[in-house]
Amino acid sequence: MLRVGVMVSGGGTNLQAILDAIDAGTITNARVEIVISNNPGAYALERARRHGIEALCLSPKDFPDRAAFNRALVAKVDEYELDLIVLAGFLVRIPDELVEKYERRIINIHPSLIPSFCGVGFYGLKVHEAALARGVKVTGATVHFVDNGMDTGPILLQKAVEVCEGDTPEILQRRVMEQAEWVILPQAIDRIANGRV
């Protein structure tokens, strides 16, 4: 059984997609052990608790410096003996020590077709604003392994989504979540859990 930890900063819609896929049996051989957020007000923490999953907040703001936060995060992750860490909208840079210790065991979902609209500064609505400003006709989402760069790790899955006339960043964001993120993130976890990566 793949022991999964999910890291989130906001509402947790990708977390919900994972939990729904486990419940539906489209993710097999995996269990979410812990949900960690840097934001005490993240609704994702409530989603986890309602599902009987331990949920906790570890915020850089609660530590004297980033090094202390990094040590605490690595120690907390180690406590759960996780096989896979899923970054599902986690807006904190992952410490290099964690990336190296859990090499090829950390994945991220990004709301574009990498290498487009990714890297420093591209998160949340900013990605969709940039896609619309550029005038692209197709966008999508990418699941990739996390390395020491920003959105630079090896790609596992991508799914394209059409950009429609009259889209706003909010409308496009919702379509990308529904048609791509909530589809390929559970698929990636299932593939990893069942040795198909």
Q: Hey, which residues are catalytic here?
A: 110
DSSP letter, residue 49: H
Residue listed under structure tokens 């608790």 = 49
CA distance 115 to 19: 28
Task: Name the DSSP letter for residue 98.
Answer: H
Which are the contacts of 8, defined by CB distance < 8 A and separation ≥ 6? 14, 15, 35, 36, 37, 42, 44, 45, 88, 89, 90
CB atoms within 10 A of CB 189: 29
**Structure tokens, 102:** 């859990």
CA atoms of 30 and 193, how far apart (whole Å)? 6
| CA 41 and chain centroid, separation | 18
CB distance 167 to 139 below 8 Å: no
Nearest 5°: CA angle at 112, between 32 and 134? 160
N-term to C-term CA, the chain: 16
